[in-house]
Amino acid sequence: MKRGLLVVFSGPSGVGKGTIRNLFINNQDLNLAFSISMTTRKPRINEVDGVDYFFVSKEEFESAIENDELLEYAEFVGSYYGTPRAYVDKLRDEGKNVLLEIEVQGALQVQERVKDALSIFIVPPSFEELERRIRGRRSEPEEIIQQRLAKASAELEMMGRYKYVVCNDDPQLAADLTALIIKRHIQISTD
């Protein structure tokens, strides 16, 4: 059986990665599985442990780093985020294409380690629109919002490091384009 593809799906915080992902993740042609990350951030309302993230303590996260259990990890606005390696490997060995929805530092680590990873970066139609979306969550204090905005600005400068850049002007269109890119790569890798 052919080993599954690794898809790095990235873009600044608030750009709408989760919304877009939900529109293509169940597309049967793509045979995708979502990699559930580990984070030390507190859950937002509606977030479920083991579904959205594995919510862990700083000690648990640091022990995962020490034991080399993470494919990549990064510190983002005061919290740790990382990809448990064993789960990704298991899914890929089963032939599943695995989607990593991660920020830029982690994405660069993966691209360094997994040379045939497919990388896609989502950009907002404008920075003003991104700010509106980040503020629209209403779940974080102003200080964190400011940090996320500064981070987003730095992250947007890294878009050239990705194979594909897709604009999220319309989430359905962005999802359709992303699905097309992934589908084509699946075809190329099985040719």
* Residue (83 or 111) nearer to ligand 5GP, CB: 83
CA angle 120, 130, 19 (to 5 degrees): 55
Say if residues 80 and 58 touch (Cβ distance below 8 Å): yes
Binding site for ligand 5GP (CB under 6 A): 13, 17, 37, 41, 72-74, 76, 81-83, 101-103, 105-106
Q: How far is the CB of 163 from ligand 5GP (least distance, A)?
A: 17
Residue with smaller CB distance to ligand 5GP, 163 or 184: 163
Nearest residue to the partner ligand 5GP, using Cβ: 106
Distance CA 83, CA 72 (A): 6
Torsion 101-162-110-115 (CA) sign: positive
Give 4 or 82: the residue with its C-beta nearer to ligand 5GP: 82
Based on CB atoms, which residue is closest to ligand 5GP, 43 or 95?
Answer: 43
For the bound state, the minimum distance from the C-beta of residue 7 to ligand 5GP, rounded and expressed in Å, comes to: 13
State in angstroms the smallest separation of the CB of 36 from ligand 5GP: 9
Query: Chain-centre distance of CA 36, in angstroms?
Result: 10
The dihedral sign for the CA sequence 139, 143, 148, 149 = positive
Measure the CA–CA gap between 10 and 67, rounded to whole angstroms: 26
**Shortest spacing between CB 71 and ligand 5GP, in angstroms:** 8
